Amino acid sequence: MKALAQALACVVALGAVTAQSDPGATHFVRDGALEDARVTGGSAEQGERYLRIGGVGCFLRAGRDLGSGSVRAEARLTLEAIEGTAASLAIGQSHFGFDSRSRTLFVEGPLFGGATRTLGRTQDHITPGEPFDVAFEREGTSISVQIDEREVYRGEIDSVTALGSLQLRPWRATMRVHSFSARGDLVTPPSPLDEDALWISGEGGYHTYRIPALVVTPKGTLLAFCEGRRRSQSDTGDIDLLMRRSIDGGRTWSPPRVVFDDEANTCGNPCPVVDATTGRVVLLSTWNDGRDHESKIIAGESLDTRRVFVLRSDDDGETWSEPEEITADAKQEDWTWYATGPGNGIQVRQGPHRGRLVVPCDHIEAGTRRYFSHCILSDDGGLTWRRGSRTPEDQVNECTVAEVPGGRLVLNMRNYDRAQRRRQSAVSDDGGETWSAQAFVDALPEPICQASLLRTDRGNRAFLVFSNPASATGRVRMTVRTSADGGATWTDGVVLHEGPSAYSCLAVHEEAGVLCLFEAGNTHPYETILLRRPALSFR
């Protein structure tokens, strides 16, 4: 992710001029001390007249955003190393920074015309261990970036565009921030997301919370799950499965508790499903050795492989059984990568397969980079499991399943065809055993990301509800849509969060209605996991 460049971006600031002494400047960091800024997702250490920050998920966010008028932001920074690192200054969804892999400065994002552009050699402007000044300036429709008062970029933008958040991101670098300030058209940032958050990254002993899942029990209890990533934002390493309960429709919640932890290994991809007949909640999850990365697992070079586990609760999530491995039943021997969900599964309501539990999954076949979706099935309330057939075509993985009237199942899938940034779908007339009619869904744009699909009945009509970051270019704009015709057409939907957002999970509560648990932030999608109630119209 080129976001690495952010370290420089920190400098979002305006020309080097010494904002320290500028009486018209708003100071975010002065003489190394925080004044109007906050650090999220990483480490911060106070030094002698500098603030030392680092960590892949770390951001130093200014306490004011940049508006649509003229503005100048500046920072004085020191990078302890450049080789093997990367950092950037982030302005809204755009970045100015450097990447040691290419040994160049770069700009990218909508503010800089979309595509990544290189700006010359990093070492020509920055020396490890020595302070330098970075500045960003907008005057009318003209923007520029300077290092030590030398202009390295100039371009034109829409004059009515508000620039958004201003932050430094050390990414793979360790950054000393001596000063950070701005002046000009500064605006109050959006309200914090904390009031809707079930989990806030950096709190509770975890670096990052990701991968939400949500179900409702027959008694009306809401169970929310996520991954607690101990030491970084990474998809691997020490990751636990966490849960919170609500017995009042999501108004109040129990404290978080761990339901699956295996020391420093990865316990993730929560995918709960409820048996409405017995009330049992079945939680599917995948495991891997915390030292193994996805690329090694796919290549067959890992210390272990991806394994599949199931946990069960017969008391609305109060207690859980010990994790039971079902890898042999769920996964073929020639599959390398494997993932359950994430999100939730369903129980078939109608037809010859009524009562079957269906959990969406994905996998990669050994010796290939071919992603496929499939489902695992249980006809005895989650005691035993077997796998169904994969989708006819590849380039799909994380998926979500729903039932339409008559017992037909619809599988909605994350699409890896970068030339067609929209979801794919397939259908099953045998309860998830096989899939056919795989096709793109033109009405559902996506940036290559997980999504959620469910069915809800209103009177004698069945509706599908779908949530995802509705953008073909980035993980932003979390949107919930409805379909009254089994997914043939979709409404424009309700936007729950315009800013950065990613994974989501939908559920229906008898009193609270449709609920959406999703990842969102003001700076990046993984700041919080929020619960919101979209104001949907069912017609």
**pLDDT single digits (tens) 191-213:** 667 778 999 999 999 999 999 99
Cβ proximity of 413 and 423 under 8 Å: yes
For position 4, what pLDDT does the model report? 33
For position 23, what pLDDT does the model report? 57
For position 20, what pLDDT does the model report? 42
For position 192, what pLDDT does the model report? 66
> Residue 123: how many CB atoms within 10 A of its CB?
13
Polymer length in residues for the chain: 539
CATH class, range 193-532: mainly beta
Question: In sequence order, what DSSP letters do the residues of 161-183 get, joined into one string?
Answer: ---B-EEEE-EEEEEEEEEEEEE
The pLDDT of 37-57, averaged and rounded, is 84
Note the pLDDT tens digit of each residue in 158-195.
777 788 889 998 888 899 999 999 999 999 887 667 77
Q: Which of 17-26, 83-92, 110-119 has the lowest mean pLDDT?
A: 17-26
Question: In sequence order, what DSSP letters do the residues of 52-90 get, joined into one string?
Answer: EEEETT-EEEESSEEEEEEEEEEEEEEES--TT-EEEEE
Asked if residue 499 has pLDDT above 80, the reply is yes
For residues 483 and 425, give the distance between their C-alpha atoms in angstroms, rounded to a whole number.
14
The Cα diameter of the chain in Å comes to: 76
For position 11, what pLDDT does the model report? 34
Active-site residue, from 235, 329, 429, 433: 235
> Residue 19: how many CB atoms within 10 A of its CB?
28
Asked if residue 22 has pLDDT above 60, the reply is no
Asked if residue 1 has pLDDT above 50, the reply is no
The pLDDT of 264-272, averaged and rounded, is 98
Q: Which of 194-198, 260-264, 465-469, 531-535 has the lowest mean pLDDT?
A: 194-198
Q: Determine whether 168 is exposed, middle or buried from the number of CB atoms within 10 Å of its CB (0-12, 13-18, 19+).
A: buried
Note the pLDDT tens digit of each residue in 393-441.
999 999 999 999 989 999 999 999 989 999 999 999 999 999 999 999 9
E-assigned strands of 355-435? Answer: 357-365, 371-378, 386-387, 396-403, 409-415, 422-428
Return the SS3 of 105. Answer: strand
Question: In sequence order, what DSSP letters do the residues of 500-536 get, joined into one string?
Answer: EEEEEEEEEETTTEEEEEEEE-SSSTTSEEEEE----
> Residue 223: how many CB atoms within 10 A of its CB?
25
For position 116, what pLDDT does the model report? 80
The pLDDT of 382-401, averaged and rounded, is 97
Asked if residue 19 has pLDDT above 80, the reply is no
CA dihedral over 202, 206, 210, 213, signed as positive or negative: negative
For residues 301 and 296, give the distance between their C-alpha atoms in angstroms, rounded to a whole number.
5
Angstrom distances, CA of residue 33 to CA of 38, 46, 183, 392: 11, 7, 18, 58
Active-site residue, from 153, 338, 371, 503: 503
Q: Helices marked H in 151-230 — which ranges?
A: none
Query: Which residues lie across from 267 on neighbouring strands?
Result: 287
Query: Is 235 annotated as catalytic?
Result: yes
Asked if residue 329 has pLDDT above 50, the reply is yes
For residues 297 and 307, give the distance between their C-alpha atoms in angstroms, rounded to a whole number.
11
ω into residue 170 within 30 of 0, thus cis?
A: no
For position 210, what pLDDT does the model report? 98
Return the SS3 of 221. Answer: coil
For residues 517 and 528, give the distance between their C-alpha atoms in angstroms, rounded to a whole number.
10
Note the pLDDT tens digit of each residue in 356-366.
999 999 999 99
E-assigned strands of 248-300? Answer: 257-260, 266-274, 281-288
For residues 405 and 189, give the distance between their C-alpha atoms in angstroms, rounded to a whole number.
45
Return the SS3 of 30. Answer: strand
Six-digit token pair at 87? 């950092």
Query: Is 457 annotated as catalytic?
Result: no
pLDDT confidence tier of residue 531, bands split at 50, 70 and 90: very high
Matching residue, tokens 């996991």: 529
For position 191, what pLDDT does the model report? 64
For position 528, what pLDDT does the model report? 95
Query: Is 519 annotated as catalytic?
Result: yes
For position 24, what pLDDT does the model report? 79
Percent of the chain with pLDDT over 70: 95
For position 526, what pLDDT does the model report? 95
Asked if residue 282 has pLDDT above 60, the reply is yes
For position 246, what pLDDT does the model report? 95
Asked if residue 5 has pLDDT above 90, the reply is no
What integer best gives the mean pLDDT of the chain?
91
For position 8, what pLDDT does the model report? 35
Q: What are phi and psi of 330, to 5 degrees?
A: -95, -25
Asked if residue 79 has pLDDT above 80, the reply is yes
Percent of the chain with pLDDT over 90: 76
Active-site residue, from 398, 519, 526, 527: 519
Query: Which residues lie across from 107 on neighbouring strands?
Result: 96, 117
Where along the chain do its domains lie?
2-187, 193-532
pLDDT confidence tier of residue 6, bands split at 50, 70 and 90: very low
Q: What's the CATH fold of domain 2-187?
A: Jelly Rolls (2.60.120)
Return the SS3 of 76. Answer: strand
Query: Which residues lie across from 179 on neighbouring strands?
Result: 76
The residue type of 119 is L
- pTM equals 0.74
Six-digit token pair at 185? 């058209």
pLDDT confidence tier of residue 120, bands split at 50, 70 and 90: confident
For residues 379 and 400, give the distance between their C-alpha atoms in angstroms, rounded to a whole number.
19
For position 247, what pLDDT does the model report? 94
